[in-house]
Amino acid sequence: MRPAPTILHLDMDAFYASAEQAAKPSLRGKAVVVGGLGPRGVVATASYEARVLGVHSAMPTAQARRLAPNAAYLVPRFQLYRSVSEQVMELLGRLSPLVEPLSLDEAFVDLEAGGAADDSASARSTGERLRTAIRAVTGLSGSVGLAGSKMLAKIASEQAKPDGLVLIEPGTERELLAPMPVRTLPGVGPATGDHLRRAGMTTVHDLAEAGEDELVRLVGKAHGHGLYRMALGLDDRPVVAERDAKSVSVEDTFDVDLHDRVRVRAEVERLAVRCVERLRAAHRSGRTVVLKVRRYDFSTLTRSDTLRGPTDDPTVVREAAARLLEAVDTTGGVRLLGVGVTGLADFTQEDLFAQAADARELAERAREPEPERQAPESGTEGPAAEEEPESAEQLAARRWPAGHDVHHAVHGHGWVQGSGVGRVTVRFEEPGGPVGRVRTFRIDDPELTPADPLPLVRDPVDYSSWPASLPKSRSGPVSAAGEESRP
C-alpha cells in the first residue's frame, strides 16, 4: 500500500455507445445500444440514457428491445473504438512508462513511476488534466479513480462515474469499504456473493469482522486469504506495463443453428483466419490450436491440437481447426463456433511450409479411413437437410450493418439506420456537424459504398507537449471518499 494516491484507474464512460453518440449528432442525448442485433445478440454497451430504462451490458438484445423499444440499436465498429483507444493510451503513456491496459477503454497508470504525482494534490491535478486532455483529443469523457492501490483506484473510478474524479486518501480505506456490499471486491461474483450472504456476510465490514480463518473455511484457503486482505483494504499488486496474453481467440454466435457440415467447416476456416490476423497484430505466434463448438442444446465442446512449434501461419491454423472439427459431432445443429491459439510465443516455427504440408497430409489421412455413409432408408430420420441460402434481407443486413459508415457519390458521408425490403436507409451527417437528413436507397445502389469511420474530433488539440502544456483544472468539492470533481 502506498502512502500517496499515485495509482490511477481510467475507465471511459459507456465507451462504445459514447463513441457512437459523438460520431452521430442525431443520437446525442438519446438511448443507444451497441451489440449483436440478431435473435441471439447480446448488448456490448448501453448509453446512460438506455441504462435508465434498465438496459445493461451482457443483456440479450431481445430483452433490451422490450425495455427500450425506441433506442438506436447499432452493430459495433471496432475500427473506430480501437482508433480512439490508441489516442487515449498514448496520453496515458505520456504520464508514465507503467501503463496497464485492461481493455480498449480501461487502464491502470502508475503516476509515481512517471514523476507525474507524489502526493494527493499532484495526483488530483494530474487526473483532472488527463480528463481535460481526453475530451480535447477524442471528444469523449472518462472517469478517473486515484488511490494507493489498484483495487481502491478501480473502486474510486466506479464511484466517479459518469465523467468524474474520485480520490481516496490513504488511511481511509477501511472506513470507506466497510459499508459496501461484498460484490464490490474483485473476484466476488454471484456464486461467492450468495455463499457469503447465506453465512450472514453482506458487507465488507462483515468480512473483516469474520476474520481470515472463517473466510478460509467458507471459500477455501487461497480465496479466503485474499478476500480478507481486500476487506482490510490491502492490495500490493504493482502496475504491470505489459500484460502477457495467454491466448488469442475469436468466436461467432449464429442467428440460426448451422446444420450443413460444409457450411460449418467454412465458418471454422474463416474464424481461423481471423484468429491469425489478431495473432499477427499482437506480434505473437502460438503452438496449440483450440476449437470451440456450442451445439443446439447449449452443450459446449472444446478440442485442441498441439503443433510441433509455434506458428502464425493461417494455413496451419486453418487446417488444424478443420482437423479438430472432424472429431466433433455436430448432429442437431451448431449455434456457436470459436477458434483460438494458446501457448503463445514471440517467434514462429522456421519451417512453416513444411509444417503446413504435414498438416495437410495429416488432414488427408484423417479423412481416408472414414467409410462412406449410406443414405437413410425411406421413412427414417436422416441428416438434416442443407440450409436454405441466405435471403436478400439477410444479405443486406450483412452488407449494411446498422450504424456502420457509408459514402454516397452525391450526398457524401453517412451511416446506416437500417435495411429491409430491398432498401437501405442512411442518415447523412458527420461528427461535430448538425443533425443530418435521411434518405433511402436500393441495397444495390452503385453510388452507395461502405466507408471508414471519420475522426470524432475534426481538429484535435495538439498534445505533443502534453502534459506540461495543459492548464490545471480548478478543484471541485470534497466528497466522503476524498476529493471529487465533476463538470
Which residues are catalytic, by number? 106
180's grid cell: 459496501
Question: Edge-to-edge strands of the sheet including 106-110?
Answer: 99-103, 106-110, 7-12, 142-147, 165-168, 482-485, 478-479
Q: How far is CA 441 from CA 248, 349, 444, 445, 449, in A?
A: 39, 50, 8, 6, 11
Q: Which residues, in sequence order, are CB contacts of 464 under 8 Å at separation 6+?
A: none
Q: Rounded distance, CA 430 to CA 425, Å?
A: 16
Distance CA 314, CA 321 (A): 10
DSSP secondary-structure letter at 26?
G
What is the CB-side half-sphere exposure of residue 449 using CA atoms within 13 A? 7
Long-range CB pairs of 77-80 (<8 Å, 24+ gap) are: 77/19, 77/20, 77/403, 77/404, 77/405, 77/453, 79/452, 79/453, 80/19, 80/23, 80/453, 80/456
Handedness of CA 286, 290, 291, 292 (dihedral sign): negative
In which region does residue 298 sit, left (phi positive, over 0), alpha (psi from -120 to 50) or beta (all else)? left
User: What CA–CA distance (Å, rounded) separates 185 from 168?
Assistant: 16
For 104, the grid coordinates are 480498449
Vertex 271 angle, CA 270 and 275, to 5°:
120
Closest to 8 (Cα-Cα) out of 170, 145, 115, 135: 145
Select from 257, 366, 247 the least CA-distant residue to 302.
247
Strands 300-311 and 448-450: unpaired
Among candidates 420, 422, 427, 385, which has minimal Cα distance to 406?
A: 427
